[in-house]
Amino acid sequence: MSEPVLATSVTSDPQAFTHVRIVIGVVTGLSVTRLLTGLSRFVQHPARNKIYLPHLAWVFFMLLTVIHFWWFEFGLYRVTRWHFSEYVFVLGYAALIFFVSALLFPDDLKEYAGYRDYFHSRQQWFYGLLAAIFMVDMLDSALKGATYFQALGAIYPIRQTLLCLMCIASIFVRRKSYHFGVAIVAICAEVWWIASQFRFLD
């Protein structure tokens, strides 16, 4: 995840930045609301909603991802002129994050025995979309030019590709320990990435 510099030939209009951030903020806010509302169910109805550790770990990963996404989006103020395709791309990226967040907490669980049953019934969709997020993030960085992409270091594409491959492999595995382990690896990778590249809002 990175800060775009997409056009340089026209004087920056602060209203354009505000307009784009408001729209993206709405989508991002929906993701946070979905995740926090879902987490509150475990407190409101603990007997009805049994915690499944792999599912809960991925909830925390997505919450961290959404927070990180909104954090680095502050860098959009550097964009001097927005092209519609760039706006659609960034909005689509935010929407993809929302879709994954929504998958973690369905509107109801009446068709399922619990979150364990639900999670594994939708694991193909969940991991497929999550793998797409890791790839879209690289496209997002590439939009900012070769110089910026290279500044992220050689570890960046390796990290993204490995996480994507882990997600694809997870589509075909149902073992609880495997899914929990992959989620912990993803959380650690995200925390490390934020600490090493995105500690400051600038």
User: Could you give the CA distance from residue 95 to residue 34 in angstroms, rounded to a whole number?
Assistant: 13
Predicted confidence (pLDDT) per residue in 72-103, tens digit? 777 666 667 778 888 899 899 999 999 999 99
Predicted confidence (pLDDT) per residue in 21-74, tens digit? 888 899 999 999 999 999 999 999 888 889 999 999 999 999 999 999 888 777
Predicted confidence (pLDDT) per residue in 98-142, tens digit? 999 999 999 988 899 999 999 999 999 999 999 999 999 998 878
Q: Calculate the alpha carbon distances from 153 to 137, 141, 157, 194, 201 in Å.
A: 15, 12, 8, 14, 20
User: Could you give the CA distance from residue 72 to residue 199 in angstroms, rounded to a whole number?
Assistant: 10
Residue 191 tokens read as 């925390």
User: Could you give the CA distance from residue 60 to residue 67 in angstroms, rounded to a whole number?
Assistant: 11
N residues, the chain: 202
User: Could you give the CA distance from residue 136 to residue 130 in angstroms, rounded to a whole number?
Assistant: 10
